Amino acid sequence: MSGRGRQRKSRQALETAISWFLLACALDVAMTHILLHQSAAGNTTVTFVESNPLARHVLHRWGLMGMVLFKASLSLLVAGIAVVVHTRRPWLALGLLYSGTTVVGTVVVYSVRLLLQHR
């Protein structure tokens, strides 16, 4: 495979990894909102709170939109770091993104489980 073909394939792998990571992050924000909303409405058997202290502070100070912007900013920062790292160490960048996707995806699955368990 030529150098350009390899670069294109590597770039596509990066774009795919970023897409999965950002999707997982968006699902995390959505599940956080759903859990908090359902809990506040009395539709759960327990009271849910944001477990990340910094995100909880942002949520209490600036509301849901503040938390969305906070989490989106962090997600885009990680994606930006991966893009920079990818220029020198493509596999490290992909590892960062896929590891992040796995961690955030696990949180999303756990959130869904909590919602179903305590509805």
Can you give the pLDDT at residue 15?
Answer: 98
Please name which of 65, 67, 40, 72 lies closest in space to residue 56, comparing C-alpha atoms. Answer: 67
Assigned domain for 1 exists? no
**Is position 71 within any domain?**
yes
Count up the domains in the chain and report the number: 1
**93 within domain boundaries:** yes
Interatomic CA distance for residues 4 and 12, integer angstroms? 12
Q: Give the domain range for residue 111.
A: 15-40+47-117
Assess if residue 53 is contained within a domain. Answer: yes
Residue 3's pLDDT is: 67
In a domain, 29, yes or no: yes
Q: Is residue 79 part of a domain?
A: yes
pLDDT of residue 2: 65
Whole-structure pTM value: 0.91
pLDDT of residue 8: 84
Residue indicated by tokens 């942002």:
58
Are 34 and 110 in contact by the 8 Å Cβ rule? The answer is: no
Q: What is the pLDDT along the chain (119 residues), one digit of tens a residue?
A: 566 777 888 999 999 999 999 999 999 999 999 999 999 999 999 999 999 999 999 999 999 999 999 999 999 999 999 999 999 999 999 999 999 999 999 999 999 999 999 99
Residue 2 within any structural domain of the chain: no
**Position of tokens 């774009």?**
15
- Would residue 8 count as lying in a domain? no
| pLDDT in the model for residue 18 | 98
For the chain, where are the alpha helices, taking DSSP H only?
Answer: 3-40, 53-86, 90-117
The number of beta carbons lying within 10 Å of the beta carbon of residue 106 is 11
